[in-house]
Amino acid sequence: MGAEQSKYEGSPEILEARDLASVAKYMNSAECKNVFTMLGAGISTSAGIPDFRSPETGLYANLARLNLPYPEAVFEINYFRENPRAFYTLAHELLPGRFRPTPTHSFVRLLNDHKLLHTCFTQNIDTLERRAGVPGNKIVEAHGSFVGQHCIECDTECDGEKMRQALNTGEIARCPECDGLVKPDIVFFGESLPQLFHRSVPNLRNADLLFVIGTSLTVQPFASLASLVPAHCPRVLINLDAVGDFGSKPDDVICLGRCDDIVRDLCKALGWADELEAAWKETERSLVDFTEAPPEKSPGPTAEEEKKQLEQDVEEITDKMREVLGKAPSQTSSEETKGIEQSPVVTGAEIPVIEDGPQTVEDTAIQNEGDNIKETKEKL
């Protein structure tokens, strides 16, 4: 598997052959110390998360229900400012904890366990690498993720638990400092990539082996990373389709098929088969139950208690009207209350508008209090 896909006519220079057995042998040698990965949405499809661009089944193909002007709008910062609910609807379905990491994610963890992993570059926002046990300091989420959340206006960092609750309920989160919109630290079109990504790119010069798994290599600048490793560095593509310039270098290995299947074959060649299955089994505990039972409701007030409360509200509003009109508040007699009840403010009759002069603040206050009394009396 691999050699038949190569376009390179000469012999490999580092590997014995362009196949998984040779990759495994090289990984077990002293020459292979710094392994890098480039991960795309294809490694998460077996977890139930659709990729972005597959016809009919991809994420963009299934966004028609959100009534977007075009699918990519859900990840555009200007569209988010106008209609944040579209993204919140999508993010609710992608919340970390809804999906279990795949064997491919667990393979990346094993790379770290065997002290081979230098950096895991990922395009994915689903945080499944972390949930599989890959240390956060080894992960570069090129397009951001759900790990953090900030205000899009003042960049204030917001509470993660409140963000999770907002995404779970569909409530739009607001910044406690400026009331701006808050979103997870997912890079939208129109936003810059994380500084960590830019700082980490030069490390590719130290790569001894590069795995490119489950990506179409069409989104820049991420796609360009595959060309930044040293000329002598073997590159292994694990994907459904051949992509990029793979097959043009002497130590390119191309393995086409399902990521999980190929990773299992590689782990078998490495002697890691049992470790892979054990690591993947651990991810069963990473799932989160989002179906929380609603809190028990306390017994509500009786009809008589509601009527009494509304009567008290009427008296309070009447006293406030007297204050606005310049009268001292006092206990309202039944005759006075009756008179108020028959006033046009309370009965809902039309009040003539005086057009000869501007409405004053006092006029506005009287009208607002009148509206409140009308609403309360209607409830009675």
Give me the catalytic one of 92, 105, 143, 150: 143
Rounded Cα distance, 360 and 337, in Å = 26
Rounded to 5 degrees, what are φ and ψ at 307? Answer: -65, -40
Of 293-307, 324-338, 347-361, where does mean pLDDT reach its minimum?
A: 347-361
45 annotated to bind ligand: yes
Could you tell me which residue, 4 or 161, shows the higher pLDDT?
161
Q: Which domains does the chain have, with CATH numbers?
A: 1-46+100-143+193-291 (3.40.50.1220), 50-98+144-186 (3.30.1600.10)
Q: Which of 169-173, 261-265, 296-300, 315-319 is most confident?
A: 261-265
Which pair of structure tokens corresponds to residue 328? 């001292």
Give the pLDDT mean for 297-321: 57
43 annotated to bind ligand: yes
* 244 has pLDDT over 50: yes
Q: Which residues of 160-178 are buried (b: 16+ CB within 10 A; e: fewer)?
A: eeebbebbbeeeebbbeee
Q: What's the pLDDT score for residue 312?
A: 66
* 296 has pLDDT over 60: no
Q: What's the pLDDT score for residue 320?
A: 62
For 161-177, how does the pLDDT look when each residue is reduced to its tens digit (9 = 90+)? 889 888 888 889 999 99
Which pair of structure tokens corresponds to residue 88? 């919140």
Could you tell me which residue, 345 or 302, shows the higher pLDDT?
302
For 176-204, how does the pLDDT look when each residue is reduced to its tens digit (9 = 90+)? 999 999 999 999 987 889 999 999 999 99
Rounded to 5 degrees, what are φ and ψ at 38? Answer: -125, 115
151 annotated to bind ligand: yes
Rounded Cα distance, 20 and 25, in Å = 9
178 annotated to bind ligand: yes
**Residue 143: active-site member:** yes
For 110-130, how does the pLDDT look when each residue is reduced to its tens digit (9 = 90+)? 999 999 999 999 999 999 999
Whole-prediction pTM value?
0.72
Q: What's the pLDDT score for residue 142?
A: 96
Could you tell me which residue, 189 or 299, shows the higher pLDDT?
189
Q: What's the pLDDT score for residue 334?
A: 45
255 annotated to bind ligand: no
Rounded to 5 degrees, what are φ and ψ at 36? Answer: -115, 150
Residue 66: which residues within 8 A CB-CB, separation 6 or more? 74, 86, 89, 90
* 246 has pLDDT over 90: yes
Rounded Cα distance, 43 and 260, in Å = 8
